[in-house]
Chains A and B, each alone.
Chain A
Amino acid sequence: MDKAAFEPKIVAYCCWWCAYGAADLAGISKLTYPASVRIVRVPCSGRVDPLHVLSAFKAGAHGVIVAGCLKDGGCHYVDGNMKAEKRVKALKKALDSVGIGGDRLEMYFLSAGMPDKFVEYTTEFARRIERLGPVGLEMNRE
């Protein structure tokens, strides 16, 4: 595959209260971000299961974002974002060890009023995944 033409697929799990709202506000503000970022709504980043992350890779994602509320009291569900952060950290290591690479998973914290951050984080992450190219491990091969 021509590397320049590589168009990644990125799943962004966005918590309903903050990250999803920030993505909405990005659109309302007519800000653009890579179309490769595909948003999946979850009630809380703490809802995101390692299973969801791995399944996204299995279904063909080249990168996964978990986006939750700001730290220090920003979470609508007390501390779901902190639980998510812990899980993401552990999962990054696991991804390293199975050859997908922990760099393909990232957690971001933002409030619903930060569309610029949403754009910044997703753009930055998409650029990273473009550099990394397709996932080396072919998980779907029987």
Chain B
Amino acid sequence: MSSREPRIGVFVCHCGLNIAKSVDVKALREYASKLHGVVYAIDYEFMCSETGQRLIKESIKNHGLNRVVVASCSPKLHELTFRRVLSEAGLNPFLLEMANIREQCSWAYLFEPAKATEKARHIVCASVGRSRFLEEIGDKEEPVKPSTLVVGAGVAGIHAALGLADIGFQVHIIEKNPFIGGIVAKLGNVFPTEDCGICIAPYSSEMHRKCLYKQQLINNPLIKLYTLSKLKSLSGYVGNFKARVVQAPRRIDERLCIGCSKCTAVCPVEVPNEYDLGLSKRKAVYVPFLQAAPHAYVIDGETCTKCRKCVEVCPTNAISLEQNPSTIDLEVGTVVVAVGFEEFEPLGLFGFGKNKDVITQLKLARMIDKKSGGEEIWKPSDGKPAQRIVMIQCVGSRDKGTHAYCSKICCMIALKHARTLKKADPDLDLTICYKDVRLPGRNYERYYTDCQELGVKFLWGDVTKVEGDADGPLRLDVDLATGGSTQLDADLVVLSSALTPSNDTLELSRILNLTLSPDGFFMEQHPKLAPIDTNIDGIYICGACQGPKDIPETIDQAIGAVARAAIPMIAGKIKIDLAKAIVDEDLCIGCANCAAVCPYNAIEMAPRGTARVIEAVCKGCGTCVVECPASAIQLRHFSDRQVLAAVEGILAED
């Protein structure tokens, strides 16, 4: 009962000799017993032991204590323990104050007992002073909606969506492109199993080579897919998010389209096909590749001339050229972000962008995927066979000028392509210029040994220049790591270009209020202990949006995201302790300084103009308190009064 006059009990722990060796615990107890408000003080060998805990509980009852100060180890170690003790004795757990006389006292002044004892007095005096102003703090429960918004329908998002639907949750998955599959769908065969990138079986299937995207995602009654869609805003908090999604018009009704392709046949507009990185053409009404999902055509509004030929031939009247963007409002309990990566466009590096025969690995993947069995890789400039191919590693990675990080999968991609090409054409002259070859995954080393056996040449050094004549080959200058330099001729130069955050990452981080790491990827809450959680409760990240990753790792994380998101949804509720900021509406002048400074958007302005803290969102940092010109907002458990009581106590003369 906080309103009652404080009756403080001080419990001085010896911690064996950890404290008692340098702090005179008897003298400390004696000192504490005389402090203002203290009605009981005792010392004991181990306060955290069962006996010690019982001692505290009994003392609370016998002496009518309504504040408890435990002078022992760091609260980081036992604050929760002793809070539980208070609860069990019928006291509110926030009426506990710990005096850290071990880590911050006895251990720091191990051989100076006088100093340690004096310092322990200051610390206990501060805790007793602060405890006088402690207040009871309760908690409350909020329901959690059993549904998830998944942002991005690449391999990570798809696996997360499937997993959550498997448990029985409603999933809304949004994808900015007209078709799902992300970059993986462009890769052709993918390591380490060399299966088709668009057909990798999800873990929930019987590992048959079912088309993942069509069969599993589209037909799942619990999964609602929104293509051509972007997240516009997100408000609320874990358990109760409100998302606004804007969907661009497909102009073809997915439910009516039967995929007959008559529209494409009559469409007069031809543009480069983005799916093939311009290697092929598509019409203004199109599917980018045969297995694309959803298998409904789309009309590209930017290039369509509205000649209406497609409208005339469509047998199901599925086409509506005048369709407008639509807004979709969703209510979800959790959010999974899986927006993946982009391949870095190495403009200006090694002749890329200037010379058509300098390409990236992603384009090579499309070329390998498109060519028929016996066909050779060709030079994009003139379509003639490329007999000498040089790959350059670490383009835009491990490089201070572009990106300092290792992109992790480019070595494997280069080796995968090299192996495929050499197997198809043993006479091909293929050189890989590398800084290091990094292949840490299981079954990855095999690609290296295979390539060596197949006669792929590995050149350890830095390519300093790529030059091309009008008709002649490309000429590369290489500084060898072993000393000296050499020159190479090549018909085709393939750059193993970095993985960078997807274009929407920055915008999305602002909409979701997520932290980015210095390299621009989404930041996990903790690299080891919370790799999928973020700074916002209820929002999880998986896949390459968190950093470069291969497919196995991406799927690991997606499954992890399923587990993390499922936890609050299975519980159906979250418990929120109310040691959060609180507004005194009578004092609030409605300036909204607090809302502006809050790093979590946890403060909203109520209809009558005063600030209101959303307790489920507030994390209790207290920065809003400092900004309030009217002293109308306080942080419970760290109010000004409580902080100042500690300061006055710690400075008090003995």
Interface contact B650-A40, CB-CB below 8 Å: yes
A39-55: which residues lie under 8 A (CB-CB) from chain B? 39-44, 46-52, 55
Question: Which of A21, A49, A52, A80 is within 8 Å of B76, CB to CB?
Answer: A21
Interface contact B103-A28, CB-CB below 8 Å: yes
- Of B178-186, B223-231, B259-267, B639-647, the one contacting chain A is B639-647
| A81 → B minimal CB distance (Å) | 10
Interface contact A47-B626, CB-CB below 8 Å: yes
| A1 → B minimal CB distance (Å) | 15
Interface contact B523-A52, CB-CB below 8 Å: no
A100 at the interface (CB under 8 A from B): no
Interface contact A33-B647, CB-CB below 8 Å: no
- Bitwise, A14-25 to B at CB < 8 A (1) or not (0) is 000000110111
A110 at the interface (CB under 8 A from B): no
B651 at the interface (CB under 8 A from A): yes
Interface contact B518-A30, CB-CB below 8 Å: no
Interface contact B626-A48, CB-CB below 8 Å: yes
Interface size class of A (residues with CB under 8 A): 35 or more
A94 at the interface (CB under 8 A from B): no
> Which of chain A's residues have a CB closer than 8 A to the CB of B646?
40-41
> Which of chain B's residues have a CB closer than 8 A to the CB of A72?
518
| Nearest residue, chain B, Cβ from A31 | B108
> Which of chain B's residues have a CB closer than 8 A to the CB of A76?
621
| A113 → B minimal CB distance (Å) | 13
A84-124: which residues lie under 8 A (CB-CB) from chain B? 87
- Measured between alpha carbons, how far is A79 from B515 in the docked complex, in Å? 10
Interface contact A32-B108, CB-CB below 8 Å: yes
> Which of chain A's residues have a CB closer than 8 A to the CB of B107?
27-28, 30
| B111 → A minimal CB distance (Å) | 9
| A42 → B minimal CB distance (Å) | 6
Mark A residues whose CB is within 8 Å of B: 9, 11, 20-21, 23-28, 30-33, 35, 38-44, 46-52, 55-56, 59-61, 72-73, 76-80, 83, 87
Given contacts A24-B103, A24-B104, A60-B653, 8 further A-B contacts (CB under 8 A): A21-B76, A27-B107, A31-B108, A35-B119, A38-B122, A49-B625, A55-B647, A61-B647
Interchain Cβ contacts under 8 Å between A and B, 20 examples? A11-B647, A26-B108, A28-B103, A32-B108, A32-B110, A35-B108, A35-B109, A35-B112, A35-B118, A38-B122, A41-B75, A43-B622, A46-B621, A47-B622, A47-B625, A47-B643, A51-B644, A55-B644, A61-B647, A78-B600
Mark B residues whose CB is within 8 Å of A: 74-76, 100, 102-110, 112, 115-116, 118-119, 122-123, 126, 515, 517-518, 523, 535, 597, 599-600, 619-623, 625-626, 635, 638, 640, 643-644, 646-648, 650-651, 653
